[in-house]
Amino acid sequence: MDSTKHFNVLIIGAGPAGVGAAVTLSKRGIKSIAIIERSDKIGGIPSFYKKKKGGVRTFVRWSRGGIPVFGEEYAQWLEKQLLKSKVRIELQSQVLNIDAKKKILTLVNPKEGEVNYSADAIVMACGSREETPAERGWLAGSRPVRVFFTKQLLSLLDDNHLLPMNNPLIIGSDLIGYAAAAKLKAAGASDAVIVDNCNRPKCSIFERLYFRMWSNPKYQGLKSKSIEITGNKAASGVRLNGKNIPCDGIVICGELIPNSELALIGNIKVELPSRKPVVTEDYQLSESGWFAAGNILGGFHGAEWCYFNGRRVARAVVNYLSESS
């Protein structure tokens, strides 16, 4: 007997893009929708940014007049939207494999073990991850201690109330880098030095002005493809185009890679080496009935952009379903 469960639409990932897509599909009258999330909570990346007294609100609600909130609050708002809808929520469920032609997902979860779900249309809203230094071709070999990724830094600052450095240096100048500088200063560190391989910071002037409330990091932009961390045991600085910049801890931020592994498994077209899935104007992937939404599309986008992108993709899915029925 075929035990595959069938839905009208399946959404992989319950971050801002996946939730935006799910609630819009539900509002548009699509009957059976399931959202599949590998972690045990709704919200994707924002859910890691804890609400904290004296902390920095880094998620801007542009649709609410630009109110900044904590990521955790944004994730709670997403969860509320989802719970109000009729969408089936599958947490702790990781999609491991796809059959793109048959529109079947194989997932594992504690309730069912390994199980197959199929759908008339599928939205990939799997987000993106920070590129490792090796992937960037920057830091070969071993890495000294006191070099952190944003998520590790957040865990130390927000979950454990630990300040891992006093004179930070941040590699990466988009919103994530400026948000990290503000969080470190709010926690007691000095103003960070931010370095990147472009003349101007990638973070918009509006966002930089907002983060000035907490910190005024010094930007050192140099057209250099390589950066070398100095210090044998612990990071003591970086060398950029022969120039030494001292610090007592480094945060590597930004430069996101789309989580397009599932697309690659299913032979859905993905640009390499950027790993961006190839999409049409209405966010359709190379296999019929497959769509992509949010940060998986590549580049850096704030959470609110991803939420609204998910909604836009949902409208394209509704059109697809009505044309194919």
Ligand X SMILES: Cc1cc2nc3c(=O)[nH]c(=O)nc-3n(C[C@H](O)[C@H](O)[C@H](O)COP(=O)(O)OP(=O)(O)OC[C@H]3O[C@@H](n4cnc5c(N)ncnc54)[C@H](O)[C@@H]3O)c2cc1C
Candidate residues 187, 302, 317, 320; the one interacting with ligand X per rule CB under 6 A: 302
Taking CB under 6 A as the rule, does residue 306 contact ligand X? yes
Candidate residues 34, 184, 268, 303; the one interacting with ligand X per rule CB under 6 A: 303
Taking CB under 6 A as the rule, does residue 155 contact ligand X? no
Q: Are the C-beta atoms of residues 165 and 249 closer than 8 Å to each other?
A: yes
> 137 burial class (0-12, 13-18, 19+ CB within 10 angstroms)?
exposed
Q: Are the C-beta atoms of residues 269 and 286 closer than 8 Å to each other?
A: yes
Cβ distance to ligand X smaller for residue 137 or 299: 299
**Position of tokens 């909130």?**
69
Q: Within 219-238, which residues bind ligand X (CB under 6 A)?
A: none
For residue 284, give the DSSP letter: B
Q: Which among 167, 172, 212 is positioned nearest to 192, based on CA atoms?
A: 167
> 36 burial class (0-12, 13-18, 19+ CB within 10 angstroms)?
buried
CB of 309 to ligand X, least distance (A): 8
Q: Are the C-beta atoms of residues 195 and 276 closer than 8 Å to each other?
A: no
CB of 239 to ligand X, least distance (A): 25
SS3 66: coil
Cβ distance to ligand X smaller for residue 33 or 36: 36
Taking CB under 6 A as the rule, does residue 153 contact ligand X? no
Q: Within 6-45, which residues bind ligand X (CB under 6 A)?
A: 12-18, 36-39, 44-45
Q: Within 174-213, which residues bind ligand X (CB under 6 A)?
A: 175-176, 179
Q: Are the C-beta atoms of residues 196 and 176 closer than 8 Å to each other?
A: no
CB neighbours of 315 closer than 8 A, spacing ≥ 6?
Answer: 24, 28
Candidate residues 25, 34, 125, 238; the one interacting with ligand X per rule CB under 6 A: 125
Taking CB under 6 A as the rule, does residue 295 contact ligand X? yes
Stretch that binds ligand X, among 24-32, 119-127, 135-143, 196-204 (CB under 6 A): 119-127
Taking CB under 6 A as the rule, does residue 116 contact ligand X? no
CB of 212 to ligand X, least distance (A): 16
CB of 241 to ligand X, least distance (A): 27
Maximum Cα interatomic distance, the chain, rounded to a whole number of Å: 67
Stretch that binds ligand X, among 21-29, 133-141, 275-283, 300-308 (CB under 6 A): 300-308
Q: How many residues form the binding site for ligand X (CB under 6 A)?
A: 37
Q: Which two tokens stand for residue 107?
A: 């997932």
Q: Mark residues 247-286: x for contact with ligand X by CB under 6 A, - for none.
A: ---------x--x--x------------------------
Q: Note the helical H segments in the chain.
A: 16-27, 71-84, 150-154, 175-186, 205-211, 261-265, 303-324
Candidate residues 150, 173, 197, 284; the one interacting with ligand X per rule CB under 6 A: 150
Candidate residues 10, 21, 24, 59; the one interacting with ligand X per rule CB under 6 A: 59
Question: How far from 110 is each of 5, 47, 119, 182, CA to CA, in Å?
Answer: 17, 22, 22, 39
Cβ distance to ligand X smaller for residue 130 or 236: 130
Q: Are the C-beta atoms of residues 70 and 55 closer than 8 Å to each other?
A: yes
Cβ distance to ligand X smaller for residue 18 or 266: 18
Question: Which positions touch ligand X (CB under 6 A)?
Answer: 12-18, 36-39, 44-46, 58-59, 94-95, 125-127, 130, 150-151, 175-176, 179, 256, 259, 262, 294-296, 301-303, 306
